[in-house]
Amino acid sequence: MAAPQAAATRREGLAGVLPSALATAGVALLLTVPTVGLKTDESGGTLVVTYHFGTVAWLVGLVFIGRLLMNLVRLGRTAKPGDRKAGPGAMDRLAASVARNQARIGAVGLLIAVVLPFVTSTYLIDFGTNVLIYIMLGWGLNIVVGLAGLLDLGYVAFYAVGAYTVALLATNFGLGFWTCLPLAGLFAAFFGVVLGFPVLRLRGDYLAIVTLGFGEIIRVVLLNWQNVTGGPNGIGGIPRPTLFGLPFVPHASSGPTFAEFFGLEFSSTQRFIFLYFVILVLALITNFFTIRMRKLPVGRAWEALREDEIACRAIGINATNIKLSAFAIGAMFAGFAGSFFATRLGFISPESFTFTESATILAIVVLGGMGSQLGVVLAAIVLVSLNELGRWFSFLNDILGDISIYRPLIYGGAMVMVMLVRPRGLLAHREPSILLHGKDGPAQSLVPNDAHAASTGELP
């Protein structure tokens, strides 16, 4: 009886695969025609509507094929449920393997990162620098979201505070980057505490809305306080970092340059390599600090707060201080990253600190796996690479137009796919930071022998 029932179930499933894919494609068609197929452009002082139905057809076709494949995969999984072995899936095993070997993987990754700027082009060095900025931001937000479980949608505000701190101190008081760097972290941490106090009693969606509002408040203040921040014009002329006072320029009136001091021929690549290693060191400090904090009482309290805040309060953990410490430390690293961002470009404006940046950083943490350091690295490389698709695959511009406008769509699609396949992230793997008896369990001498205990009367 089981075989005919399984065959009938399979036939019913196959019959529903195509209608489901067609229905999904129909919904995609309704959504993409007004948003992608119709576009307004200015021509001769008037607005004209241009049509991009070819792009709509590509997107709808991709949705149809994706939904069809998803249905077939699900059907294959449910066709023979008795053949499936109980236990963790392939991705769970991969995440556990990565967690066990993260030291080796990290060492290999660090070696590649150190060698990369010496064997590649200036473009890839600059691309790697951008990736490292987002890795550092992801690791900082991972403290708040991944470890403490506090959903923060305004993380870009602390990024902006760090950047504007360096810009204002450098341009108004003549301070250098290395002097401004710790001050930027302190100011950002202060703003993290300022944000933390009003949201102590909020959780989930309510916390996300308040942090989103905080991020927008900072952006609007930067945009309108023109006497201090320059408003929409931003702040320029931010000095570049130096190596012990040696600037990376062809000639300097105040002393020798980097190239002159070491007897090298000047090359603009030297500055790119130096900036790359500066953000690499800052990112490594962030990673080392986070790993060490997880093993300290405050780090374990973050993870306990993430799992059950009520239980934390019941056992005497001060949830107020724990939340404030998570916001402050996460904001501090965002301030460090913002200070580097400002001095790297030499110019900043409020346009660099919009909600899109917060969403990108949050997507890096969620896609990689909340609490996973290596997951953040993987997600940062993937998402930052999406910005370069137009440069790497220029032929797609002839088919789909400017593919950079589809970045939010790709982000959203990636988030949806990960939530369907890996709700906790690609490399999410939770295990206790510290085990009471180690990984091998309690010592054999601590486990009583039942027979011996019964003969001596030690058992109750």
Query: Each residue of 215-272: pLDDT tens digit?
Result: 899 999 999 998 988 888 989 888 888 888 888 888 777 778 888 888 888 888 888 9
C-beta separation of 167 from 348 below 8 A? yes
- Model pLDDT, residue 141: 93
Between strands 347-348 and 235-236, the pairing is antiparallel
Highest mean pLDDT among 47-51, 74-78, 397-401: 47-51
* Nearest-angstrom CA–CA distance, 324 and 305: 12
- Model pLDDT, residue 453: 44
Pick the range with the lowest mean pLDDT from 70-74, 352-356, 363-367, 397-401.
397-401
Nearest to 331 by CA among 141, 147, 198: 141
- Model pLDDT, residue 85: 52
DSSP conformational letter for 35:
I
* Sole residue written with tokens 């690295």: 377
C-beta separation of 248 from 258 below 8 A? yes
Query: Each residue of 8-61: pLDDT tens digit?
Result: 555 555 667 788 888 888 998 888 888 778 877 777 777 788 887 888 888 889
Structure token pair of residue 101: 């070997």
For residue 75, pLDDT beyond 50: yes
Element (H, E) at 322: helix 319-345
Please name the amino acid found at residue 314.
A
For residue 324, pLDDT beyond 60: yes
Percent of the chain with pLDDT over 90: 24
- Tell me the mean pLDDT in the region 305-324: 86
- Model pLDDT, residue 459: 41
Q: Which residues pair with 40 in a beta bridge?
A: 49
pLDDT confidence bin for 460, thresholds 50/70/90:
very low
- Model pLDDT, residue 448: 46
Stronger pLDDT, 263 or 447, i.e. the higher one: 263
Query: Each residue of 405-422: pLDDT tens digit?
Result: 666 777 777 777 777 777
Query: Each residue of 94-115: pLDDT tens digit?
Result: 777 777 777 888 889 899 999 9
For residue 445, pLDDT beyond 50: no
For residue 44, CA distances in Å to 39, 51, 76, 404 come to: 16, 18, 57, 26
Query: Each residue of 287-302: pLDDT tens digit?
Result: 999 989 888 888 888 8
For residue 6, pLDDT beyond 70: no
Stronger pLDDT, 190 or 71, i.e. the higher one: 190
DSSP conformational letter for 36:
I
- Tell me the mean pLDDT in the region 416-433: 71
C-beta separation of 136 from 158 below 8 A? no
- Model pLDDT, residue 4: 54
Q: Name the percent of the chain in helix, strand, coil, to the closest 5.
A: 75, 5, 25
- Model pLDDT, residue 128: 92
- Model pLDDT, residue 119: 86
For residue 160, pLDDT beyond 60: yes
Query: Each residue of 118-131: pLDDT tens digit?
Result: 888 888 999 999 99
pLDDT confidence bin for 275, thresholds 50/70/90:
very high
- Tell me the mean pLDDT in the region 377-400: 75
- Model pLDDT, residue 442: 53
- Model pLDDT, residue 415: 73
For residue 172, pLDDT beyond 70: yes
- Model pLDDT, residue 198: 81
For residue 458, pLDDT beyond 50: no
Stronger pLDDT, 270 or 456, i.e. the higher one: 270
- Model pLDDT, residue 450: 45
* Nearest-angstrom CA–CA distance, 318 and 24: 48
pLDDT confidence bin for 93, thresholds 50/70/90:
confident
pLDDT confidence bin for 440, thresholds 50/70/90:
low
pLDDT confidence bin for 447, thresholds 50/70/90:
very low
Q: Which residues pair with 49 in a beta bridge?
A: 40
Average pLDDT, the chain: 81
Long-range CB contact pairs, 351-356, < 8 A, 24+: 351/232, 351/234, 352/160, 352/163, 353/156, 353/157, 353/159, 353/160, 353/163, 353/218, 353/219, 353/222, 354/156, 354/219, 355/153, 355/156, 355/212, 355/215, 355/216, 355/219, 356/408
- Model pLDDT, residue 422: 76
